[in-house]
């Protein structure tokens, strides 16, 4: 027998040994899998029957007037029901399993979050969390406001009380539900910080814009008393930047604005880390 033929015979014997080792495993699997498949089919059928029973049972119908809505400060009850598609009696279990929550977030950007609970025979409750306007957008065809997360939405109440933000262009323009890019969030972080009593300026911000359309170049703000300020802080183009550095510079700016010796000055520059320069 040649050496080559010996190697072939050895390889064939090893293959037969491996096949023999797998036979009991395959046989055991063949005995177990059919019952498992049957059990899976029974469970699926049972769940399907259960859902069909719940969906078809009129005992679980909830009329619109029995739906409890909490947390809505701006949207009316009728608007929430309309956005949810709940103007007619609905099956409570069907609502819980449907995509109405996600649909409401999509159809009404004013809604930040919503949760739904159903207790058969007791209540169907919607808990709504609305977005809080922080500023209004300049140069948009729609009267849009924006919250601290940078989400744009329409607001039924007057917008004049909110600062105007701008100084940036976005491809495709603005629309409800649009989220501002990270490099513009420094404007919103600054406005939100001045709403804190510890960092509130002596006069409210009425306008804030990016210098040269680039957050890295700084921010220009106009106060209600007519004074203008420019400031910058570390990494401000990265989703608002270094909050600690922003607050330090904002504190320095506030001290300068309150200084009686600088009462006649109209321009304040807080671009430097530990100094504020002023001019007429």
Closest by Cα among 197, 179, 184, 202 to 253: 202
Where are the chain's structural domains? 3-56, 59-130, 135-279
Task: Report the CATH fold assignment for 135-279.
Answer: Rossmann fold (3.40.50)
Euclidean distance between CA atoms 3 and 5, whole angstroms: 6
pTM confidence score: 0.70
Fold assignment, 59-130: Ubiquitin-like (UB roll) (3.10.20)
For residues 277 and 266, give the distance between their C-alpha atoms in angstroms, rounded to a whole number.
11
Regarding beta strands 111-119 and 135-137, do their DSSP bridges make them parallel or antiparallel, or are they unpaired? unpaired
Is-contact 259 276, C-beta < 8 A? no
CA neighbor of 205 nearest in space, from 280, 136, 278, 140: 136
At 131 the pLDDT is 92
**pLDDT by residue (tens digit) across 79-106?**
888 877 788 887 776 766 666 666 666 6
Count CB neighbours of 77 within 10 A. Answer: 14
Neighbours of 133 (CB within 10 A): 19
Say if 59-130 and 135-279 have the same CATH topology.
no
Q: How far apart are CA 277 and CA 218, in angstroms?
A: 15
Q: Where are the beta strands (DSSP E) in 13-131?
A: 61-62, 67-70, 90-91, 111-119, 123-130
Burial class from Cβ neighbours inside 10 Å (0-12, 13-18, 19+) for residue 73 reads: exposed
Give the separation between CA 253 and CA 251, rounded to whole angstroms: 5
Picking from 220, 203, 198, the residue whose alpha carbon sits closest to that of residue 257 is: 203
- pLDDT for 225: 94
Residue 194 contacts residue 244 (beta carbons within 8 Å): no
pLDDT of residue 160: 82
Contact (Cβ atoms closer than 8 angstroms) between residue 133 and residue 105? no
Dihedral of the alpha carbons of 128, 206, 202, 248, in degrees to the nearest 10: 80
Q: Which residue has the tokens 């917008």?
A: 159
Report yes or no: 262 and 246 within 8 Å, Cβ to Cβ.
no
Give the chain's residues under pLDDT 50: 4, 7-8, 11-12, 15, 19, 22, 26, 29-30, 33, 36-56
For the chain, first and last CA: distance in Å?
108
Can you read off the two tokens belonging to residue 190?
């600054």
Pick from 85, 106, 109: which is nearest to 95 by CA?
85
Percentage helix, strand, coil for the chain under 3-state DSSP, each rounded to 5: 45, 20, 35
Tokens for 257? 């604005």
Report the distance separating Cα 76 and Cα 141, nearest Å: 25
């Amino acid at each position: 027998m040649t050496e080559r033929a010996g190697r072939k015979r050895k390889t064939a014997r090893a293959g037969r040994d491996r096949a023999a080792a797998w036979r009991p495993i395959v046989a055991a699997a063949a005995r177990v899998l059919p019952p498992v498949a049957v059990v899976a089919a029974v469970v699926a059928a049972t769940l399907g029957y259960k859902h069909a029973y719940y969906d078809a049972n009129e005992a679980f119908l909830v009329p619109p007037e029995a739906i409890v809505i909490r947390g809505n400060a701006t949207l009316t009850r009728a608007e929430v029901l309309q956005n949810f598609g709940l103007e007619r009696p609905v099956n409570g279990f069907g609502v819980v399993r449907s995509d109405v929550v996600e649909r409401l977030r999509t159809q009404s950007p004013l809604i930040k979050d919503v949760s739904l609970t159903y207790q058969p025979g007791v209540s169907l409750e919607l808990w709504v969390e609305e977005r809080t306007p922080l500023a209004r957008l300049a140069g948009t065809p729609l009267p849009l406001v924006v919250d601290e997360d940078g989400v744009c939405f329409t607001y039924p109440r007057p917008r004049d009380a909110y600062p105007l933000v701008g100084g940036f262009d976005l491809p495709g323009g603005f629309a409800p539900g649009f989220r501002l890019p990270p490099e513009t969030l420094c404007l919103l972080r600054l406005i939100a910080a001045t709403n804190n009593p510890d960092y509130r300026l002596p006069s409210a911000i009425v306008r804030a814009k990016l210098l040269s359309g680039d957050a890295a170049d700084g921010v220009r703000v106009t106060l209600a008393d007519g004074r203008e300020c420019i400031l910058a802080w570390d990494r401000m183009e990265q989703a608002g930047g270094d909050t600690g550095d922003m607050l330090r510079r904002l504190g320095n700016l506030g001290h300068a604005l309150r200084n009686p010796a600088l009462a006649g000055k109209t321009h304040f520059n807080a671009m430097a880390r530990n100094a504020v320069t002023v001019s007429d």
